[in-house]
Amino acid sequence: MARVIAARRFDGLGLRHAPGWRILPLIVAAMTFLAALAIAGAQGAAELGRHWQQGAAATLTVQVPRPGTAPSPPVAAGETRRDRVAALLRGTPGIAAVRPLGDAELSDLLRPWLGSSAEQLALPLPAVIAVTVSGATGTVGGVDLAALAARLEATAPGTLVESHGIWVRRLALLADSLRLCALAALGLVAAVAGAVIVVATRAALASRRGVVETLHGLGATDFYVADRFARHACRAAALGGVAGLVLAVPVVVALTALAAPFVSPAPVEPGLPGWAELLATLPRLPPLLFWALPALPLSAAAIGYIAAQGAVRAWLRRLP
Amino acid sequence: MIRAEGVGLHYGSSEDGADAAAPEVLQALSFSVPGGGWRWLLGPSGAGKSSLLRLLHVSARPTRGRLHLMGVDVGQARRRELPALRRRIGMVFQDFRLLAHLSVFDNVALPLRLAGRPEGQLRADVTEMLRWVGLSKVAAMRPTVLSGGEQQRAAIARAVIVRPLLLLADEPTGNLDDVQAERLMVLLREMNRLGTTVIVATHNMALVERHPGEALELARGRLVRDG
C-alpha cells in the first residue's frame, strides 16, 4: 500500500510548483459559492412557487349578489341568500371550510381601491364567501366547479365562483422560470469553471513543455501525462470546492431562515432570525440541498479532472 | 531491427507537423541495421544526423517512405502503439535532458516507472545502475549540481536502465574530456556486446578511429555511405 502511495505521490512532471494551479482553488471557490446560491435559488423558487400555488389552488371565492340586483327564488324569513349559499357549500363534498366575510372585513378589502369611505358610497356590494377546498395541489379538491356553479345559480341567481386558476398558472410559470434561470446559472458556472481549469492547465503545460516532451520521448503514454495534470487539477478544484461550500452554507442557511415564514404555516416571530434560529434551520434544509450542496466539491473535482484530461490530451496530439 | 526504405522527412508548421512546401531535411534514405549491430552516424553539422535520430527515436514520423523499427512500421503505426515502442529505445541526448526537479535517482528510475515497474522492485536496479556508472554518491542530488560528465553518465544510465533493444546517442562525447569520452565508449561498447543495437552520432573522427565500426554517413540529408 505504501509503495502504491509512493508511486502516486511521485511528481515526475514537477507540477507542484507549476504556475496556474495556485490561483485555481480561489477561482473554483468563488464558482462553488455562486453554484450553491444558484441551487438554493432554484430550490427556494420551487418551494415558494409550490406554497403559493397550494394556497391559491385551495381557495375559492364565491360572490353572492345583493337582493334586487338579480331575480331570486323566495327566501325564508330570517334567512339571507348568503346563508343559503353558505349552507349549500357546506353540504358539498370536497369543501373543507366556508367562511362568509363580514361587512367590516369586506370594507377592509375594498379600502385600497375605494378609500376609507367605501361603506358610505351605497354601492350594491355582493356578499363574499371564502371557501377552502380539501383537494390536492393544483386541483380544486375534486369539486366539480361547473356543477357547483349551476347549483349556486339555482339557489341564488347571479352567484359567481372564482377559482383563482389564472393566478395558479401564472405562479407556476413564474416558479418554473425562476428555477430554469437558476439552473442555467448553475450550468454557466460549471462551464466557466471548466474553462478556467483548461486555461490553468495550459499555463502549467506551457511551463512544463520540456519535461512533458522528455517524458513523451521516454515512452510515457498520453494517459500517464494527462492523468498527472488531471490529478493536480482535481485536487485544486476539490480544495476550492470545499472552501466555496464552507463560505456558502451560512449564507444558504440564513436565506432559508428568512424564507421560512413564506413556505411554512408556522407563526412568524417578529424581527430577524437570530443565531439560534439559524442553527435550528440547518436540520430543516430542504432534502435537495442536503445532497446537492455536498455534491458541489465532488462536481468541481470531476470537472477539474475531466477538463484537465481533455486539455492535456488535445495538446499531446501535437506530438507524434 | 531497423529497415529504412526511401525515408524522407520535412518539418513544417501545420498541425500534423509536416508542410509540403518545406524542404526535406532527409531525402530517400534506405539502409538497414541488424539486431545487435553498431553504427556510427557521421556527417557535418546540418547533414541530418539529429533528424535521423529523431526518426529512430520516434520523436517524428517519416513524411515519405517506410521506416520499420523492431517490426513496427513507424509511419503507419497507430499513435497509441508508439509509447511501447519508445520504451524499447534508449536515447542519450546531447543536452542530457535530465529533469531538474528530480534527483539523479529519480531521473534514472523514470523509465522504469513509466514502464509500470512497482516501486519496491526498481530500487535495486537503479542502485546497481548508478553504481555501474559511478554515480552512487550523488544519487540524492539534483542534476543541476553535477558536472557535465556526471550529467552525461546519468543520462546514459537513464537510457540503458530498461535494457533497450536500440540505444541512440547524439554527440554523447561533445561535453566530455577525453578520459570521460573513453569511459563512455566503454559503456556503450559493453551495451552493444550485451546485444543492444547502438547508433552513435558524432563528428569526432578521432573517436571513430579509436573505435572502428560500420558507419552511416549523411551529407545534405542524403545517405552517402553505408558500411
Q: Choose the mutation target among B55, B97, B144 for the interface with A, i.e. most A CBs under 10 Å.
A: B97
Contact list, B11 vs chain A (CB under 8 Å): none
Q: How far is B210 from chain A (nearest CA, A)?
A: 31
pLDDT at A301: 96
User: What is the per-residue pLDDT for B15?
Assistant: 44
C-alpha cell recorded at residue B153: 553518465
Alpha helices in chain A (DSSP H): 2-9, 24-57, 81-90, 103-114, 145-155, 165-207, 209-217, 222-263, 275-281, 287-316
Is residue A5 pLDDT above 50, yes or no?
no
Residue ranges of domains in chain A: 13-43+178-316, 66-158
Mean pLDDT of A62-68: 78
pLDDT along chain B (227 residues), means of 10: 91 56 84 94 90 93 93 91 93 89 94 89 92 90 90 90 92 80 85 92 88 91 87
Q: Which residues of B touch A318 (CB under 8 A)?
A: 15, 17
- Residue A63: is its pLDDT beyond 80? yes
CA distance A98 to A84: 12
pLDDT in tens, A211-232: 999 999 999 999 999 999 999 9
Q: Which residues contact A132 (CB under 8 A, 6 or more apart)?
A: A58, A59, A95, A96, A97, A98, A99
Kindly determine whether residue B83 and residue A220, on different chains, have CB atoms separated by under 8 Å.
yes
Percent of chain A past pLDDT 90, that is, above it, reads 31
Please name the member of A3, A11, A320 whose beta carbon is closest to the beta carbon of B82: A320
Chain A residue nearest residue B53, CA to CA: A217
**Is the confidence at residue A262, as pLDDT, over 80?**
no
Return the pLDDT at B14.
Answer: 45
Asked if the model's pLDDT at residue A70 lies above 70, the reply is no
Q: Is the pLDDT of residue A53 over 90?
A: no
Task: Please say whether the dihedral angle defined by the alpha carbons of residues B131, B136, B140 and B142, taken in this order, is positive or negative.
Answer: negative
The whole-number pLDDT of residue A230 equals 94
Q: Mutation test of the interface with chain B: which of A4, A218, A319, choosing the one with the most B Cβ atoms within 10 A? A: A218
Average pLDDT, chain A: 81
Q: Which of B171, B37, B82, B179 is nearest to A220 (CA)?
A: B82
Identify the pLDDT of residue A137: 38
Residues from chain B contacting residue A11 (CB–CB below 8 Å): 101
pLDDT at position B130 is: 93
Handedness of CA A229, B101, B91, B189 (dihedral sign): negative
For the stretch B118-177, pLDDT in tens is 888 899 999 999 998 889 999 999 999 998 888 988 998 999 898 899 999 998 887 777
Per-residue pLDDT band for A236 (boundaries 50, 70, 90) equals very high
pLDDT tens for A9-43 read: 566 777 777 776 778 899 999 999 999 999 988 88
Cα distance from B32 to chain A (closest Cα, Å)?
23
pTM for the structure as a whole:
0.74
pLDDT of residue A6: 47
Exposure class string for B167-195: b at 16+ Cβ within 10 A, else e? bbbbbbbebbeeebbebbbebbeebbeee
- Please state, in angstroms and rounded to a whole number, the distance separating the CA atoms of residues B56 and A28: 44
- Residue A193: what pLDDT? 93
> Do residue A218 and residue B110 have CB atoms under 8 angstroms apart?
yes
Of A6, A216, A218, the CB nearest to B119: A6
In angstroms, the CA B22 to CA B18 distance is: 8
Give yes or no for B163 touching A (CB within 8 A): no
Mean pLDDT of A40-47: 83
Contact (CB<8Å) B106/A12: yes
State the pLDDT confidence band at A2, using cuts at 50, 70 and 90.
very low
Q: What is the pLDDT of residues A146-187, one digit of tens each?
A: 888 888 888 888 888 887 767 777 777 888 888 889 889 999
| Cross-strand pairs, A315 | none
pLDDT value at residue A138: 41
Mean pLDDT of A33-56: 82
**Nearest residue of A to residue B89, measured between CA atoms:** A218
In chain B, which residue's Cα lies nearest the Cα of A316? B79
**Chain B contact for A5 (CB, 8 A cutoff):** no
- CA dist., res. A49 & res. A71, Å (int): 41
* Residues in contact with A131: Cβ distance below 8 Å, sequence separation at least 6, in sequence order: A59, A60, A61, A62, A89, A95, A97, A98, A99
Count of other CB atoms within 10 angstroms of residue A83? 16
What pLDDT score was predicted for residue A75?
59
ipTM higher than the 0.90 cut: no
With a pLDDT cut of 70, the percent of chain B lying above it is: 95
Q: What is the pLDDT of residue A77?
A: 60
pLDDT for the residue numbered A263: 64
Q: HSE (CB half, 13 Å, CA atoms) of A274?
A: 3
Task: State phi, psi for A220 to the nearest 5 degrees.
Answer: -70, 135
DSSP bridge pairs for B89: B166
Q: How high is the pLDDT of residue A272?
A: 63
Ramachandran category for residue A271: left, alpha or beta (phi over 0 → left; psi -120 to 50 → alpha): left
| pLDDT at residue A282, as a whole number | 67
Average pLDDT over residues A47-71: 74
